[in-house]
């Protein structure tokens, strides 16, 4: 079933801030200073350490991060999360060192012994399609970040504190909802239909998918017979599949599926029994639109109040957007059409 959203997330804590009861205006913070920016970031499971971040020496047996990850540009939405998924090429690791380039401190992130580097556990769930990493570097960005891009450096260390090579990542910071350019996306949209990269035919989402099997009756028992009477053995229904994009850069996504299967063991020819299953979910996150690349960015983080494996970031290309319709294409070539509610 092609979904608007892939429900693949990762554990993180809710980062809260205290309200300032002073009525005096708060001076603007210049996050272009790496030291100021580093002081405003919160890294999940990270401890702030003053000084120079440890670096590897290339010693034999040291963990190695994939060089293909170096200088990647990663997308984040202002006030939400930057997500880094390190790729371990060889060795094992206990945690990460992370720093903002130019800062005078760094973060030490330690993971449980069972954690591993990014693994391509590919899970597909609709328009939002991606991987479930089992260890991520999760960085909460402050509100009102006045930089377009900033540079991170990170390395892993093993149980003997041997450090890997250092990888650089650039974090591209987007406006929530994309500013005026994203206004056309505001509202509630129903996932209407989709088609695969090599398909000319559309599959409609809000429709029943019914399966039939031919049977004859032998002593009131269903018996398969290709010349028998077609009997419904499966009914899959999507009752709801929709997203609401809010003007403040947040979104909610909701789907509700029902599945019915013929229970052969308890069914008789004169009394068919079906097993009913129900699946539904409500997801929260942030969104932005980049007009230069025509990309819709969806960051499903459940606003920080999430459980295990609850994080997804996916970029979709906008093929068409009108007052009543949005057409997108994902990285696998699937085209989806949403209609305004």
Which of 2-16, 24-38, 188-202 has the largest mean confidence? 188-202
Decide if 267 contacts 231 (C-beta within 8 A). Answer: no
What average pLDDT does range 96-120 have in this prediction?
Answer: 75
pLDDT tens per residue, range 257-276: 999 999 999 999 999 999 99
| Parallel, antiparallel or unpaired: strands 203-204 and 208-218 | unpaired
**Mean pLDDT lowest among 1-15, 154-168, 212-226, 232-246:** 1-15
pLDDT higher than 70, residue 122: no
> What is the per-residue pLDDT for 310?
58
Mean pLDDT score across all residues of the chain? 82
What average pLDDT does range 12-36 have in this prediction?
Answer: 56
> What is the per-residue pLDDT for 112?
58
**Mean pLDDT lowest among 11-25, 68-82, 269-283:** 11-25
CA distances for 76 relative to 31, 80, 246, 319, angstroms: 15, 7, 17, 22
User: Higher pLDDT residue, 286 or 135?
Assistant: 286
Decide if 92 contacts 158 (C-beta within 8 A). Answer: yes
> What is the per-residue pLDDT for 212?
95
Structural domains of the chain sorted by starting position, each given as residue range(s) with its CATH number in brackets: 34-176 (2.60.40.10), 180-340 (2.40.128.280)
Nearest to 134, CA basis, from 124, 154, 120, 123: 120
Distance CA 209, CA 153 (A): 49
pLDDT higher than 90, residue 156: yes
pLDDT higher than 60, residue 115: no
> What is the per-residue pLDDT for 49?
97
**Mean pLDDT lowest among 174-188, 251-265, 304-318:** 304-318
Distance CA 5, CA 11 (A): 18
Q: Residue 97, SS3?
A: strand
pLDDT higher than 70, residue 279: yes
Q: Residue 304, SS3?
A: helix
This prediction has a pTM of 0.66
> What is the per-residue pLDDT for 151?
96
User: Higher pLDDT residue, 8 or 300?
Assistant: 300
Distance CA 6, CA 260 (A): 23
> What is the per-residue pLDDT for 28?
61
Q: For residue 67, what are its two tokens?
A: 């060089």
> What is the per-residue pLDDT for 178?
79
| Ramachandran quadrant class, 269 (left: phi over 0; alpha: psi -120 to 50; beta: rest) | alpha
Distance of CA 257 to the CA centre of its chain: 20
pLDDT higher than 50, residue 7: no
Nearest to 197, CA basis, from 298, 317, 293: 317
pLDDT tens per residue, range 49-65: 999 999 998 888 999 99
CA angle 336, 77, 8 (to 5 degrees): 55
Decide if 201 contacts 185 (C-beta within 8 A). Answer: no
Q: For residue 83, what are its two tokens?
A: 């997500």
Nearest to 109, CA basis, from 195, 12, 175, 33: 12
State the residue for tokens 């997500």.
83
pLDDT higher than 50, residue 133: no
Distance of CA 51 to the CA centre of its chain: 33
> What is the per-residue pLDDT for 86?
85
Decide if 309 contacts 132 (C-beta within 8 A). Answer: yes
């Amino acid at each position: 079933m092609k979904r608007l959203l892939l429900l693949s997330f990762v554990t993180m804590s809710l980062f809260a801030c205290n309200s300032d009861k002073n009525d005096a205006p708060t001076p603007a913070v210049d996050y272009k200073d790496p030291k100021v920016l580093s002081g405003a970031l919160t890294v999940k499971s990270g401890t702030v350490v003053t000084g120079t971040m440890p670096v590897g020496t290339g010693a034999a047996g040291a963990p190695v991060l994939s060089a293909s990850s170096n200088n990647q540009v990663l997308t984040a939405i202002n006030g939400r999360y930057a997500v880094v998924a390190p790729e371990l090429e060889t060795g094992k690791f206990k945690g990460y060192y992370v720093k903002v380039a130019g800062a005078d401190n760094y973060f030490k992130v330690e993971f449980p012994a069972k954690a591993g580097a990014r693994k391509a556990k590919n899970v597909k769930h609709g328009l939002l399609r991606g991987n479930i990493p089992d260890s991520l570097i999760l960085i909460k960005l402050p509100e009102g970040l006045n930089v377009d891009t900033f540079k991170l450096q990170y390395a892993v260390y093993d149980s003997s504190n041997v450090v890997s090579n250092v990888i650089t990542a650039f974090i591209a910071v987007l406006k929530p909802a994309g500013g005026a350019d994203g206004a056309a996306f505001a509202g509630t949209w129903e996932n209407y239909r989709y088609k695969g990269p090599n398909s000319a035919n559309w599959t409609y989402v809000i429709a029943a998918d019914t399966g039939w099997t031919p049977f004859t009756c032998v002593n009131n028992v269903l018996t398969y017979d290709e010349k028998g009477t077609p009997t419904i053995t499966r009914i899959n229904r999507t009752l709801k599949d929709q997203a609401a994009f809010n003007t403040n850069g947040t979104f909610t996504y909701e789907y509700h599926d029902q599945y019915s299967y013929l229970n052969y063991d308890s069914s008789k020819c004169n009394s068919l029994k079906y097993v009913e299953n129900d699946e539904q979910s409500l997801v929260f996150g942030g969104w932005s639109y980049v007009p230069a690349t025509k990309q819709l960015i969806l960051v499903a983080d459940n606003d920080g109040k999430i459980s295990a494996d609850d994080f997804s970031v996916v970029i979709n290309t906008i093929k068409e957007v009108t007052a009543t319709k949005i057409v997108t294409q994902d990285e696998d070539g699937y085209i989806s059409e949403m209609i305004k509610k």
